């Protein structure tokens, strides 16, 4: 015999599920078939009552929630769960979805679900494209990508400035410091470490040319 399995959830124990439980019972969910999670965030991968409700479902049953966000915070995860239910022969009924009662066991409900899935996938693709575009722009600008920036001491910056002023290739100095050439330029330009740093601000250095000679500049023998 097919049945309705209801599920209600609140994120904190200070909230109550009374309204959800009333609405679920009103559509025919029996008390014994009503599962409630209290103090369970939608971001949690495992929610005891939800897990129990899913185990209780059998082919032909209908899983009922008041709103789709009771299943989780991520649209993608919610739709994935709904698709898994459908492949198991279980319908999903959302009492308030877009202002109406949607049941995937009906043609109209199935269509709404399909549209929602397509929109969620499109949203995911747009976000992915934005991330890739941002990474590409940052890489082109020579920005660091991910991870904590390497800490470079003032003495290391001074030493790097001396080496660059002594015609040591910028790429080699940056490599020894474990940073990119663009990052080395940026840190030397923004940190007021020595006369050598100020000299690096000239257009010649930005263009990749050697800096002007600096009187009295001592070039260390060792390389950092």
Q: Catalytic residue numbers?
A: 11
**Residue that the structure tokens 């100095």 belong to:** 173
- Partner residues linked to 97 by β-bridges: 100
SS3 7: strand
Work out the end-to-end distance of the chain between its first and last CA atoms, rounded to an integer number of angstroms: 77
Angle between helical axes of 107-140 and 75-87 (0-180°, round to 10): 140
**Residue that the structure tokens 């609140």 belong to:** 10
**The Cα angle at residue 92 between residues 36 and 82, in degrees rounded to 5:** 95
């Amino acid at each position: 015999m097919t049945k309705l399995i209801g599920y209600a959830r609140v994120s904190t124990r200070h909230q109550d599920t009374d309204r959800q439980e009333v609405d679920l019972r009103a559509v025919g969910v029996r008390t014994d078939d009503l599962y409630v999670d209290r103090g369970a965030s939608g971001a949690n991968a495992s929610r005891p009552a939800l897990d129990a409700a899913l185990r209780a479902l059998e082919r032909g049953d209908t899983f009922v929630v008041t709103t789709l966000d009771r299943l989780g915070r991520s649209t993608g995860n919610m739709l994935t769960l709904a698709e898994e239910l459908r492949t198991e022969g279980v319908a999903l009924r959302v009492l308030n979805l877009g202002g109406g009662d949607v049941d995937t066991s009906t043609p109209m409900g199935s269509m709404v679900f399909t549209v929602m899935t397509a929109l969620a996938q499109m949203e995911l693709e747009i976000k992915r494209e934005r991330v890739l575009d941002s990474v590409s722009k940052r890489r082109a600008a020579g920005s660091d990508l991910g991870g904590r920036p390497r800490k470079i001491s003032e003495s290391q910056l001074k030493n790097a400035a001396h080496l660059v002023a002594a015609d040591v290739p910028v790429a080699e100095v940056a490599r020894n410091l474990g940073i990119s050439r663009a990052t080395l330029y940026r840190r030397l330009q923004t940190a007021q470490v020595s006369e050598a740093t100020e000299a690096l601000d000239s257009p010649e250095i930005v263009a990749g040319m050697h800096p002007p000679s600096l009187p009295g500049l001592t070039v260390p023998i060792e390389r950092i």
